[in-house]
Structure formats: C-alpha cells, structure tokens
Structure 1
Amino acid sequence: MAVPGKKASKQFSSSTASMASDEDLQIYCQPCDEEGTRLPAHGYCTDCKEHLCKTCFTAHKISRLSKHHKLQDATKMPKVLQQPSTHTHTGQSNFLTTPCLKHPQEMIKFYCHDHVELLCSVCVTLEHQATSCNVNYIPDISGDIIDSKEYQVILNAVNTTSDKFQQILKDVKDMTYKSNSSLKDALVDIKKFRQEINLRLDVLERQNVDAAKVIEQENNKHLKAVETTCEEITKSLKISSDKIKQLNTTKQGDKLFIDLKLAENKIKVMKEKLLTLSSFDIKEYNFQSNDVISNLFKTKKSLGTLTHKTLNTESHSVQIKSRQSSHEGKICVKTSKDEFSCCITGMTLLTPDLLIITDYNNKAVKMVDTSSQSVSDQLQLDDGPWDITTVTSTELAVTLPDKQTIQFISISSNKLIKKHTVKVDGDCHGISCYQDKLVVSFRYPAKLQILDLNGAIQTTIDKNNIFKEPGYITCNRSSIYVSDWDMKTVTRLNWQGDVIGSFSGMSDPRGMSLSDDGTVFVCDWDRKVIEEITGDCSTGKVVLKDLKNPYAVCWCGETKKLYYSTVKNVEKYDNFLHIYKLS
C-alpha cells in the first residue's frame, strides 16, 4: 500500500490507476499525483473534475481563481477517478507559454485591467494583489477576443504604425534625392562661376566641392540608417501582424490575447522611434557666388557658401476638388443615462466603425458604433468635457475647461475607463495630439500650449496678440490649425509658434478635422455650413450648406464619410450626429 507523502512510481500514477491492484484502487489527489506525490483524496471539484487532498481542498477554497468552484467532501465525491474536461483551464493552460518580461522563468497567465499589464503568478503576488487590482485569469476573459473590436483596433494600429514608418522612409528618400540634386545644381553654378575667373581659384573651388561631398555623404549615411531602421521595424511589425491574423484564424484566443497586448506595447516603443526618425533635418542647397571676388579673391578664403533652401516636404497648395455629397442618415446619441439634451462639442475617430464623442451637457464621453449606429458605451466624468483627441490606439485625452484639467481615458474590451488627469493653467478647450505632443487652446487669456503627455509645457504661444478666442485645434507633422471664434479666422502655425497662414472667410469657425489629402474641414456655426479650406489656408469652398448650426466635425478617409454634430439648443437636432458621404 502507498504511504502518504511518499513519491509514487510512474506505474501508479492516476492515469494508470485502472492497471493497479485492488489495494491501489484508493482514490488519490490528482494535482499532487501529477507532481509525483501520492496523497489520499479528501474531496472533489466539479468544475476542475479533479480529486483533491485535504491541503489542495482547503487551498482550492481560498485561491482567487477557484474559490467560486463547487466542491464535494469525501462523502459525496465520486468513488472512481475522473478525467479532467478538455474545456477546463487545465487544458487551455498548455497554450500559456509566453514568458513574463519581468520573471522569464514564469509564464504569462493573468491580465490586470487597472494597469493594462500582462502578468505571471509572481507579478500578481508581488504587485497586483486582489485587494488593489482587477486581475483576471486570461482563459477566463479570452473567449471573446476572436474577431473582436479590440482585435481589429490593435491590428489596425500595427498596420498604421507600419505605414507611418514606410512613409518616413519615403519622405527621407525624397528629401535626400532633392538635397543631392540641389547639390549637383550648386556644383554646376560653381563651375560656371569658376570659368569666369583665374585658374588660381582651383583651391577655393575644391573647398566648396569637398564641403558638398561631405554633406552628400552625411545625407546618404543618414538615409541608410533610416532605411535600415524602417525596414527592420516594418519587417517586425509584419511578423506581428501575420502572427495575430494566424492566431485569430485558428481561434487560439489565449495566444491571440497575449500577442495583441505585446503588439500594443511594441507600438508604444515603435512610436518613440518614429518620433526620433521624424526629427530628421535634411536641407537643400544652392550656390551663392561672391560678387566682389574678382577684385578681392587674393584675400578671400572661400569661393562662396552652400546655403540652405527652405525644404517643404508637404504640399500645402492642394487644390480643393469638387465633391458630391449625399446624406447617409443620422445617429441618435442620447441615452437613458442622460439627464439633459446632448451637447456634442468634440469627436474623434478611433477606427472607421468607432467614433468617440464628448457630451458637455451630460458630463459624458460616449463610444458610438457607426456600424450599428448606436452608443455602445458611456463614461460619466466629474465635469463637462469639451474636446477630445486620440493619443494612441487605446488612449484618449479630453479637456475639462471648468476643472482646468485634461482627463486621460483608455479603451479596453470595448469599454471606456478613466485613467490619470493632468492639471493645466487655464480653461483648456481645444486639444489635438501628434506624436506624443498635445496642443491645447486656452480662451482666457487667449493662448496655445504644446505639452508632453505628462503635462509638462514645451511651448507657450501667446505673443503679438495672435489669438483672441482660440477654440478648436487640429495638427499634422508641419502645421497647427486653430479656429478663433472672435477673430473669425482659421490660423495656421508651425511647431515653433510662427504664423504661416490664415483664412479669414469665416463667420464663426468651430470644430475642425483634417482630410486625407491635406485640406481642413471647418464648421462655420453662424453661417450654418461646413467649409473645406486648403492646407496653406489660401482658399476655401463650402461642401455642405443649409445645416442646423454645425459644431464638431470628424472625417473618415477610409469610408469618405463626414460626421458632424449640431448645437442649437433644440433636442430634435442636438441629440443626433449627421453622416454625409463626400466623393
């Protein structure tokens, strides 16, 4: 007869109990038996379908993952060994094979919703206890990840990030070609100038030629470094994308959940590299000849200088094309939680079928499913939110002007979750994010601030009375656009705060949205139109007219749909978002 606590030989394991003698047909604890220790069964778990010794039985009632399981004592437990169900976590745990980043010897098995982190058992024990964190066992929550919106959001973010790196590479190639071409043109000018003077200028010419070659070598060296980085990152993201798609196709929910979260973390790291690569500074050159060198060349040490030309990598002279519009319907955004009629003052598009809006009157941020044309989630805030911007594929930032605060919000499992807040020094209204920089407008006193994601001020723009009442903001790599309600203009600035354009054909400009071809859609609340203006703010054209006081607007380049809200203090208008197809 086996002795409790003594190691059992392999032929006496629970899986081969049917082959043992009558004396060895006693029921033993299956978890201990699998570890090589044979102890008599004290009870049975109907959820795990396992017999348990006294120690395991007691622990089973305490553990967070099993304390709700149904247990049977020795008098009620089955008198024969049971095989574990293939649908329990025991079977699924074979797929939990991704090592923890902090504890490589442990596998990732849990997910903390509060900290948005993948965890192993050690992480849970040391840093994410049940009393402070909302932690789930991954197999308990991964069942709905297949073909979910979260899967689509993160996959889209992977692809979008990959596209951005490819665009960076294309931009660097184009600018390097222009720079090298301009250097060649400058060298031609040098040759022409060289022929007009004495051969004694050979040495001076060589100085300029060498300088041009050094710059060209530096350009090509930088291009090679950027090209290598972008190709490696694009390849890595492609591998992640393919793996995610494969796991989704094969319905491996556990691995898919983990790989999606790892891809999400990878995107954050890649965005830092993206910001670094975006800061390149490649200039074009021309040659400026020395007008008095014929008389003074003996005293001069240089034939001339290679000077920088203004390098414009974005076309701001985009012509506004004629558009055909068709009304695609409207979405009711008023919910049973709302106490007042809606006042939709801000909106941002997360994916083509996921629109996030701010409802100032009802102190709420709402998630709108554009496919089902319904509000799928609503998050109540302490005060009325004004404007909203996308920070990452799963994070948003909202201005609370009366609280002088920016509220950060995350999206997990298609739910809006309040995160941290950042205090600012004024009644913040408009907000826009580009590459981890927040641009925020303040109405009293009128100014703009560029902040990092921790709220640290990078730049304050309030000089020379540029603004009187700046409202909404939208921005891209080269420009910041601001609608000024008092000055009745849309002002374009560069990231240094210099005004580089202005469009004054407005009556009361409000919400704005950048189109995919560089133009800007602007709501003119008083004129009751939505106007499209060129990226250089030189011209504009009305695309929608006879509207009911349009206020906030959002463009979807993929579907060619324009969403806008109405603020008219009339429920039958204000409680709806309108949809137009522009082709």
Structure 2
Amino acid sequence: MTDNVVCAGCLRDNEEEITVMWCNDCEEPVCRPCGKAHRRFAIPNDVIDIKDISSVNKTMTKICKEHTGQKLIFCCVNHDKIVCHVCISESHKECDINHIEKAAKGIKDSSTIHDLKERIHKQKGIIEKVKEENNELSSKIKKDKEQQQERLIQLRSTIEDRLNLLDKNIETHYKQGVEKVSSNTEQLESLAQTTQANLQDIEKADTEESEVNLFHLVKRLDTSQLSDEENLQFLENDISNMSLQFIPENFIEKVDAMLNEFGHDAQTTSFKSHQSGTKALQSQIQVHSDEKHSLGQHQTFHAAESSKFYACCFIDENEVIVIESMEEQNDWGTVGTTLYLKAINLKDGKCNSFNISNGCSDLCKDTLCTFDRNNILIVAGDKKSVKVFDLEFKKLARTIKLNILFALCEWVTCIESQIVVFCYPYKNQKKCQIISWIDYNGQLLKTINLPDNICDLDIIENFQRRKLCDLYNFLWCDLYMLH
C-alpha cells in the first residue's frame, strides 16, 4: 500500500487523511484516528498496521456480493459456501450453518490446501504448454498463409488459362458458325431459285406441252425435287442444332457456390482445431480424384437384442433419424411390435426416441424422409397416405391423404417445400408407375408417368435427374425435361 493512499472513511466526509492502518473487517484503508474508532465499535474490528497487510487481504473481499455491507462470517455446510446472516434467512434456513472461525479451524493442516496447490501447479504447467502450442500456431498459420497464397496464385493461373482457352474456342466456333451461316445462305438462295424455276416450268408445261413432254419433265423434276428436299432437310437440321453453349445455364452460380465453400472448414482458434479443419478439407478434395481411397473413420450403432433398425435419413450433418422396431410385452402378457422414431447424435452417440405406434396401427418401415428440421414423413401402412411426425412434440402431427387414382405410395422424399411420392398401380390395374408432386396439404401439383417394373429411385444434381432401375435393366431418366 503506497503512502499517498487516503483514508476511506475521511474521504466519504470530503476530508483527506493519509492512511496508516487497514481494517480487515471493513476491507478498507483508514487513518490513525479512524483506526482507533474502528477498534472501539461494540464488536471491535480487526485493525492492523498497513505495513502488515498481506497481498491476499488487499484483493480478497469479505463482504457479501448479494447483500451490500453484510459481512461473510458464516459457512453453509450443505452448500459448501461462505454466507452472511441475510443469506441464511433467505436461502439457507434449513441448512447446517457454522461460524466461519469454526469452519476455518484446522484448514492449514487439511488436504484441501494440498489439493488446491496441486491443481494450481497443474494449471500453471498446462498454461505453459498451451503457450507453446499458441506460439507454434503463430508460426504454423504464417506458413499456412504462404502455402494458401501460393495455391491461390496457381488456382488463379489455372482458371485464367482455362478461361483464355475457352475464349479462343468460342471465337473459333463463332467464326466457323459465321462461315456455316454464309454457306447455308448461298445454298438456300440456290435452292430457292431452283425451286422457283421448277415451279414455273411445271406450271407452263402443264398448259402448253404435250403429255409426252410433260411426262419427261415430271420425271426429271421429281428426281431433282427429291435431291433438293434432302438438302433442305439437312440444312434445316444443321441450323436447329447449331449452338455456342460452352457455359451451361446456372454454371456461374454453381461455381460461385463452390468457391464460397473455400475456407468454411478453416480453424485458427487453436493448433489442434486448425489441423482437424485441414484434414476435413483434404478429405473433401479427395472425393473428386480417380484414385481409390479406403473408408475413413466411421461409427456403428447397434440395435438392442429385441430391436431392429429399418429406414433412416439425416436430420442434419450431426444427427440421423431411424425407424426402430422393438418386441415388447403388453399389460396382458402378450408380445407385440412397437415402432419408435430414434434420433441419434453422431458426435456423442446419445439417442432420443418416442413411440410412433400410438394412433398408427400400421406404418411402412422401409421409407422415411425429413420435411424440415422437426417434421418426419413416413408412408402409412395402407400406402394411401403419408404420416407426419413432429420431433419437437414427439407425436403424430397430421395425415396427408394421397388423392391419386388407382395407385399406392411406395416411397416418399422432399424437394424443398414439395413432397414427392413414387407410386405403383393397384393389383390388376394397367396404369403405369408414376411420380407425383404434392404440397403439405396433399394437393396434387403434377404427375409424371414412368415405365413399368421400376423398383428403386434416386435424386441427384439438384433434383433434376433421377435414376430408375429394375432387376435386369438400368434406366437414366431426365425428369426435368419430361415436365
């Protein structure tokens, strides 16, 4: 405590007296007269010379933070907490309370001091270790920055080279197209002249020439006309197929989205986090290479002995939902099957499930999908409706009836806010298999007929293409073009 510190009590009365003492009970510096006054209280305060005050006393408060001005002179045994008398009356009426002097007795010889010292020493060592890691991180991110900038230069150069080549190709094909258009113009003009001349000849011969001469003319013009018609058909097809579409529609948006993903996995908060982020980025890049890679780290979740897992889908990248069938004994002693929706956290393995058999006598266990974060779609057992289960409230939210004539639902998925169902005809019905789009209220939006014998369906490339296959054949079908 420096010599120029003034007495706290005198300062409150707008006076300035140099402090020479310290009141441990009030936790403030006092001058000599005030120190004598503190010792003369009904319950004398502990006043010592300011030179004898320890650094602990300077920083350690003995006043209750919750009740202004109240001293912490009691200890609650139940909550292991130092309290004031107001704390006791408010929150510790039923607790075992000791005076702080009784609670503190023997503390110097207890294991508490030893354990606390050991924890502090351990933390000190951890701090030094983390400091070293932080220093390593500083040099590593600097090296990473240089490496990434070098890769960025290479990427920019590669992209520029490709764009320059593309620009040359566009210009070359444009010149070829201009030449083709010029050639087509000449051929069309020649055909037009020939056609006009033939028309004039046959009209004139029809009225002026003999039948023999007309017959010769018809045969000659017929051969010529056939050749001209073939040439015209060729030109027509050539013109309709000519295009300079080197950059597909929406390609720029896709490239922008891909570039936007760069750096999302980068971590600079700690050395270990930065390493894991780099590995994740490397694994994503390797997917596009032609080399064969072994399967990375994976997790396996096993059903219980009396349970079976059926259809599953991702809620998000860290959680998956699965239909679980469990053999259970009811109140009458008979064993029945109960269906549950089980959400599994892929990070910590924790599960959360609820019964979906209540109110639903039968469900298709082999298909489900997410409509959004909280709603799961499952095809009903009669295959004439889709059940919506709410994960937040853990119950059946609604039933979407499918008003599709002569068809039963086999499979369900979602494309944004629209529900897509794959249906097949009733038994003995001749209608083909179909894919139908419906909204959340079951309103039919559109339907596409499919070939017979379709047994599976998948959606890729922004939901524009689907693959359809049966036991013997594989069919690639562009549904975007169909509708």
| TM-score for the superposition, normalised by structure 2 | 0.36
Flag the structure with more relative contact order, 1 or 2, with Cα contacts below 8 A and sequence separation at least 6: 1
More helix per residue: 1 or 2?
2
Q: Which has the larger radius of gyration?
A: 2
More strand per residue: 1 or 2?
1
